Amino acid sequence: MAETVEKSVKTINVTLRPIDRSNQPVSANYSTVGVAQGIAYLDFGFLEPAQLAGVVRNVQSGNGTTDELEGTLVVRLAMGLDVVQRLQQQLQQVLAGLHRQPTMKA
């Protein structure tokens, strides 16, 4: 006979206290994810908008593109894959909420 296990969800309030300047927002317009030994490494960086616009102009004018861009690493996060899965679920909820919001007309 198979047992039925019911999953229950319990909400717990979590307070994160900042250290140093960790509560200051940073700007990132580039991200990449790598996985090694069961740990996901999320790198968030910043590329100068003028640099990106220059790449687009070069491609549009037929001058090709560069093989490399140099930017600034803003933050690197290392997290277990279970945490990545929860993050993915939270991001999906946020995006679904944005999709449901009515658009404003000018």
The mean per-residue pLDDT over the stretch 64-84 comes to 91
Residue with tokens 């090694």: 36
Task: Assign 82 to helix, strand or coil.
Answer: helix
* β partners of residue 44: 31, 75
Alpha-carbon 50 to chain mean position: 22
Token duo for residue 51: 């640099």
Q: For 85-97, how does the pLDDT look when each residue is reduced to its tens digit (9 = 90+)?
A: 999 999 999 999 8
* The pairing of beta strand 72-80 with beta strand 30-36: unpaired
- pLDDT surpasses 70 at 83: yes
CB 60 within 8 A of CB 52: no
1 has pLDDT over 60: no
Other C-beta atoms lying within 10 Å of the C-beta of residue 92? 10
Question: Would the pTM count as exceeding 0.75?
Answer: no
**What's the CA gap between 44 and 94, in Å, rounded?**
19
Q: pLDDT by residue (tens digit) across 9-66?
A: 788 999 989 999 889 999 999 999 999 999 999 999 999 999 888 888 888 888 877 7
Query: What is the rounded CA–CA span in Å between residue 86 and residue 40?
Result: 13
